[in-house]
Amino acid sequence: MSRALVIGAGPAGLMAAEELANAGLQVTVCEAKPSIGRKLLMAGKSGLNLAMDKSSDVALPNYLEAAEALAPMLRAFDADAVQAWARGLGQEVFTGSTGRVFPTAMKASPLLRAWAQRLTGAGVVIRTNMRWQGWQDDMAAFHGPDGAEAIPADVTVLALGGASWARLGSDGAWVGLLEPRDIDITPFASANAGLCVAWSDHMTPHFGCALKAVRWQAGDVSSRGEAVISARGLEGGGIYALTPALREGAVLTVDLAPDRPAADLQAQLSAKPRKTRLSQWLKNTLRLPPAKTSLFFEMTQGATLQQDAWVKTLKALPIRYAGMLPMDEAISTAGGVSFGSLTPGLMLKARPGVFCAGEMLDWEAPTGGYLITACLATGRWAGKEAARYVADAA
C-alpha cells in the first residue's frame, strides 16, 4: 500500500488526509501541536463561520489576485459542498441573515471531533507533537516526543498554515525550510487585522464599544461592517475587509451616518441657527451614540470646523492610524507559496511528490467563511491530486 504523509492538522491538512485515505493510501498526519485543529477551534469560539452562501463565481472576487488560481478548487468544493460535508459529519448547519453559514451548534468542537473519528475510522494515523524539520535523505524529518525521526512517504501534502496566531500552530517557521529549494514565497503580511490608533484619554470610556451603522472607506474599497474601539485601536469586520488597502497606508475615512444623504443633513443643518454648537448638532439633533460623537471629536481635535464643513466631515471623517496591529494577532495572513511555484494540482515544481494547501498558499480573503472554505477546498484539491500522482507513478 502506498504511503501518504500530511504535515499540519488544520482544515486543509485534514481534508487532504481524508481524500488520500478515500483513495486507498496509508495516511499519516503529523501535527506540531499537542492536538489538532487548534485555530479552527479558536475561530469557533465566536461562532464557526464555515462558508458564505454564495455561488463560487459570486464568491471568487473576494479572493482578489488569487481568484483565478483558486477558481477550479472553489468551483469543485463550493459553499453548497461545504454544507453537505458538515451534514455528512452529523453537524446540521444554518444560514444567517447576512448569508454566513454556521453549524447549528455554532462551535467547532463537535464538528472536529466527528471528523477526527471518521478519519481514524478510515485508517488515518494522527501523530501530535511532531514538528517538521525539513528533509533528510528525501524523507520528512521531525522532532517528536521521542526525539529526531524521519518518515518515508510516496507522497506528501504540506498544510503548514500562515504566520498568525503562532501559539495555535501558524508561526510561518516553515518558510526557511522551503526557500533553499528555489521556491517563490511571498513575504507574509497581516490580513483581517486591526488598526493601531493612539487614542487620547478622552476615548478611554468607549473602549469595548462597537461602532455600528457606519461605512468605512480606504482607497477604492468600502465596507459597511462594524468595528470595536479597543485600547489599542480599531478592530472588527468593517476594518478587516479593508486590510489590503490599509497595509499600503491608504487614507481611511468613516461615514458616521451612511443612511442619511448629505443633502438631507445639510438642509436640516441650514435650518438651524448659526449659533448652534457642533456638539448640540451631533448629540441632540442627529442623536449619534456617544462612541460616534467621541470619535468625531477625537479625529478633529485641534481643528476649527466651520458649520459648512460639519456635514462633509461627518460623512467622511478621516481616521488617523499608525499601521496594523501585530501580524501574530491577525486573523490570517497574506503571502506564502506562490502559485507560480506550483503545478495546477498544487504540487511544488521544485519537489515532485510534495503538494501544498491551505493558508500557506499565497492568497487572502475577508472573513465571512471565505477563509475556511478555501482551506477546505485547497486541501481537498491537493489530496485528490496527490492520490492521482501516486496512481500515475504506479
Instruction: Tell me the per-residue pLDDT of 6-38, one tens digit each, with 9 for 90 and over.
Output: 999 999 999 999 999 999 999 999 999 999 999
| pLDDT score of 146 | 92
| pLDDT score of 305 | 86
Q: Provide the CATH number for the domain formed by 3-190+333-393 in this structure.
A: 3.50.50.60
Alpha-carbon span 111 to 360, nearest angstrom: 23
Strand partners, 190: 333
Confidence band for 138, pLDDT divided at 50, 70 and 90 = confident
Q: Is the pTM of this model over 0.85?
A: yes
Q: Mean pLDDT across the stretch 253-257?
A: 98
Domain ranges of the chain: 3-190+333-393, 195-318
Q: Are 18 and 122 in contact (CB under 8 A)?
A: yes
C-alpha cell at 187: 513575504
* Residue from 156, 191, 155, 153 nearest 172 by CA: 191
Q: Are 169 and 132 in contact (CB under 8 A)?
A: no
pLDDT tens per residue across span 352-370: 999 999 999 999 998 889 9
pLDDT tens per residue across span 284-324: 899 999 999 999 999 998 778 888 899 999 999 999 999 99
| Cα 199 from chain centroid (whole Å) | 27
